[in-house]
Amino acid sequence: MSGAGRQNLWLRRVGWMVLIWIGSVAALAIVAVLFRLLMNMAGMTV
């Protein structure tokens, strides 16, 4: 495999890892917002 092909594969792998990380952070944020809404509806405010 040439140097350019190897670098392209590395960038693709890192890109997928970053996309998966962003997706997991976004999912965690959505769950946190939903919990906060449920707690506010139940009268548990700070």
Q: What is the pLDDT of residues 23-40, one digit of tens each?
A: 999 999 999 999 999 999
What pLDDT, on the 0 to 100 scale, is given for residue 26?
98
Number of independent structural domains in the chain: 1
2 belongs to a structural domain: no
40 belongs to a structural domain: yes
13 belongs to a structural domain: no
**What whole-number distance in Å separates Cα of residue 15 and Cα of residue 38?**
35
Which domain, by its residues, includes 29?
Answer: 20-46
Q: How crowded is residue 6: how many other Cβ atoms within 10 Å of its Cβ?
A: 10
Kindly report the backbone phi and psi dihedral angles of residue 27, in degrees, each rounded to the nearest multiple of 5, phi listed first: -65, -40
15 belongs to a structural domain: no
What pLDDT, on the 0 to 100 scale, is given for residue 3?
73
Q: What is the pTM of this model?
A: 0.70
Q: What is the DSSP string of 1-16?
A: --HHHHHHHHHHHHHH
6 belongs to a structural domain: no
Both tokens of residue 27? 């999912």
11 belongs to a structural domain: no
